[in-house]
Structure 1
Amino acid sequence: MTGATYLNFDKALQTGMKLIRTHENPTAGLLIVVGINLGLRISDLLQLTYGDLRKDSIDIIEGKTKKKRKITLNDNIKTAMRYFGEDAFNDSFHAFRSQKGTVYSNKHVNRLLTKYFSGNRVSSHSLRKTFGRRVWDNNNQSESALLYLSEMFAHKDIATTRKYLGIRQEQIDDIYMNL
């Protein structure tokens, strides 16, 4: 488990879209938007191409688990992609590239996220955790949401997912606070 924290989904989405709209750093903005909306590991996220992000759904084989997944791209990603235009980038180009044309490294992603989000525990993993917390919150913090997330994250059980998302510690803290 990583010690990275999750971000506020709405603030992260706003930050990502602002970076795109203002042209301050459209690639970093797109990375944030896509990262919090897909919940992929950074290694899988960095392999996505502009062509992938222009589709309605993508089929990927996760690098770590080798599991095949079909992922539907939601309106947040489609809205962000409108700023990149159909002809602006070749569909085969990796979406998350530096100005030199090389695919972002995990280290570079961590530097970018630290720049745009306060907190010393922000890292590339924060995007995946933000996705997980959003799914959990949107489903009334239900056990079924944890089951889905456990499957999506390829965790061995929902206890692992609960710990991964920091839910377990919050529940333990609540026990002490409610004495």
Structure 2
Amino acid sequence: MSPRNDNHPPKGSSITVEPIRSLKAISAIKAMLHDKPRDLLLFVMATNNGIRCGDLLRLKVGDLRGKSVDDTIAVKESKTGKANVLAVNDSVHSALTRFLASGSFCDDAYLFRSQKGDNKPLTIQSVNRMVKAWCREAGLDGNYGAHSLRKTFGYVQRVHFGVGFEVLCKRFNHASPAVTMRYLGISDTEVVSILKNSI
């Protein structure tokens, strides 16, 4: 019997993926995707917006063609049915411009089109494999997958930009900030660490 791959839990159990916590690793992944405009755009849009990959994969080229910095695109979350927005910041605009210059795309083509022929988007399973490979190549230990990109957005916003859980809760369309805290994996060590702050 072959040993079980740690990325695949026993049947019936769940597995939690981690955010990419290191800004250096994020930069390394962007650098390794430099010559893969589609993959770079997916990584940048996901980590800058916190939108579920499933919702990003439904986007068409025409949804973003002609968008400028600070423009937004309305999206309806497939999981919740709630309205949300995708923002085009500097990083997204740069990756989008690079992608559109890399080929000729009709507006009805999926933005993150599978390379298997028909006009079909990448699958979540494909994105899972891609993210695992990127993180492995960046030297990261742990379990990563498509959902890591959404979690990376939340982690970076909270830790590096000081965004509070209430705002992230609203962005993620979570029921409460407590749900967001669990989602972002707030550890006991992190909670205990605040007790070192002398008042």
TM-score over 0.5 for the alignment? yes
How far did 1:68 drift?
A: 1.1
1:35 aligns with 2:79: no
How far did 1:78 drift?
A: 0.4
Identical amino acids, percent of aligned pairs: 33
Matching residue of 1:128: 150
1:150 aligns with 2:169: yes
The 5-angstrom pairing of residues 84-163 of structure 1 reads 84-85=99-100, 88-101=104-117, 102-118=120-136, 119-140=141-162, 145-163=164-182
Structure 1 residue runs of 5 or longer lacking an equivalent are none
Q: Separation in 2 of the partners of 1:68 and 1:10? A: 33
Q: Separation in 2 of the partners of 1:39 and 1:108? A: 19
Residues 6 and 126, structure 1, Cα contact 8 Å, conserved in 2: yes
Higher radius of gyration, 1 or 2:
2
> May I ask how many residue pairs the two structures share in their alignment?
172
Residues 113 and 124, structure 1, Cα contact 8 Å, conserved in 2: yes
Runs of 4+ off more than 6 Å: 175-178
Q: Separation in 1 of the partners of 2:187 and 2:76? A: 30
- The change in CA–CA distance for 1:81 and 1:15 in structure 2 (over 3 A counts) is same
CA root-mean-square deviation = 2.6
Partner secondary structure for residue 59 of structure 1: strand
Q: Separation in 1 of the partners of 2:63 and 2:31? A: 19
How far did 1:172 drift?
A: 4.2
TM-score, structure 1 as length reference: 0.83
1:11 aligns with 2:25: yes
- The change in CA–CA distance for 1:60 and 1:9 in structure 2 (over 3 A counts) is farther
Name the one with the larger helix percent: 1
TM-score, structure 2 as length reference: 0.75
Partner secondary structure for residue 40 of structure 1: coil
Q: Separation in 1 of the partners of 2:157 and 2:96? A: 22
